[in-house]
A = this chain, B = another copy of it.
Amino acid sequence: MEFTIDSSNRLPIWQQLAQQVRESIARGKLQPGDRLPSVRELSRTVVVNPNTIAKVYTELEREGILNTRPGLGAFVAQPSSEQTHKVRKERLQEALGLFLTEAVHLSFTAKDVVEIVSRQVKQFKWPEKKQ
Contact = CB atoms under 8 A, between A and B. Distances in A.
A109 B130 CA distance: 10
A122 to B, nearest CB: 8
A112 B118 CA distance: 12
Given A62-B62, A83-B82, A120 B100 contact: yes
A126 B113 CA distance: 10
A77 interface: yes
Interface residues of A, number: 60
A83 B125 CA distance: 24
Given A67-B7, A88-B108, A101-B22, A121 B127 contact: no
A114 interface: yes
Q: State the number of copies, please.
A: 4
Given A83-B84, A100-B120, A22 B114 contact: no
Contacts of A78: 8
Given A65-B105, A109-B129, A75 B7 contact: yes
Interface in A77-131: 77-84, 87-88, 91-93, 95-110, 113-114, 116-118, 120-122, 124-127, 129, 131
17 contacts: A8-B77, A19-B98, A26-B100, A79-B107, A80-B107, A92-B113, A95-B99, A95-B102, A95-B103, A96-B99, A98-B98, A107-B127, A108-B126, A109-B129, A113-B117, A113-B121, A114-B118
